[in-house]
Homo-oligomer: A and B are copies of this chain.
Amino acid sequence: MTESKFHGVIPPVVIPLTAERTLDLEALERSINRMIDAGVDGLFFLGSSGEVAFLTDAQRYHVLQEAVAMVHGRVPVLAGIIDMETLRVVDQAKRATGYGVDGLVATAPFYALGGPKETERHFRAIREQTDLPLFAYDLPVCVHTKLDPTMLVRLGEDGVIQGVKDSSGDDVSFRWLCLENGDAGHPLQVFTGHEVCVDGAYMAGADGSVPGLANIDPYSYVEQWKAFQAGDWEKVRQIQDHLARLMFVTRVVKATVGFGAGVGAFKTALWQMGVFNTNQMREPVQALEGEDVAAIRAVLEQNGMM
In this complex, what residue of B is CB-closest to A21? B87
B-contact bits for A235-264, CB 8 A (1 contact / 0 none):
011001100110110010000111110000
Partner of A117, one of B91, B118, B203, B286: B286
**Known contacts A54-B86, A172-B169: does B244 contact A142 (CB below 8 Å)?**
no
Partner of A57, one of B91, B117, B203, B244: B91
Q: Is the CB of A259 within 8 A of B56?
A: no
Q: Is the CB of A86 within 8 A of B196?
A: no
User: Is A112 on the interface with B (CB-CB < 8 A)?
Assistant: yes
Q: Is the CB of A54 within 8 A of B284?
A: no
User: Is A301 on the interface with B (CB-CB < 8 A)?
Assistant: no
Partner of A284, one of B111, B114, B203: B114
User: Is A199 on the interface with B (CB-CB < 8 A)?
Assistant: yes
Q: Is the CB of A142 within 8 A of B87?
A: no
User: Is A158 on the interface with B (CB-CB < 8 A)?
Assistant: no
Q: Is the CB of B85 within 8 A of A260?
A: no
Alpha-carbon distance A230/B144, docked complex (angstroms): 41
Q: Is the CB of B55 within 8 A of A114?
A: no
B-contact bits for A100-127, CB 8 A (1 contact / 0 none):
0000000001111111011101101100
Within 8 A of B (CB), among A27-69: 48, 51, 53-57, 59
Interchain nearest-CB distance for A181 vs B (Å): 13
Q: Which residues of B contact A111 (CB under 8 A)?
A: 48, 53, 82, 110, 142-143
Partner of A56, one of B87, B172, B258: B87
**Known contacts A172-B197, A175-B197: does B87 contact A59 (CB below 8 Å)?**
yes
Interface size on A, residues (CB 8 A): 70
User: Is A25 on the interface with B (CB-CB < 8 A)?
Assistant: no
User: Is A297 on the interface with B (CB-CB < 8 A)?
Assistant: no
Q: A118-B260, A144-B144, A179-B241 are in contact. List 18 more A-B contacts (CB 8 A).
A: A53-B109, A54-B84, A54-B88, A56-B88, A56-B90, A84-B84, A113-B258, A113-B259, A114-B284, A119-B284, A122-B284, A169-B172, A172-B194, A172-B247, A175-B197, A179-B244, A197-B200, A200-B201
Q: Which A residues contact B (CB, under 8 angstroms)?
A: 48, 51, 53-57, 59, 82, 84-88, 90-91, 109-115, 117-119, 121-122, 124-125, 142-144, 169-172, 175-176, 179, 194, 196-197, 199-201, 203-204, 231, 233-234, 236-237, 240-241, 244-245, 247-248, 251, 256-260, 282-286
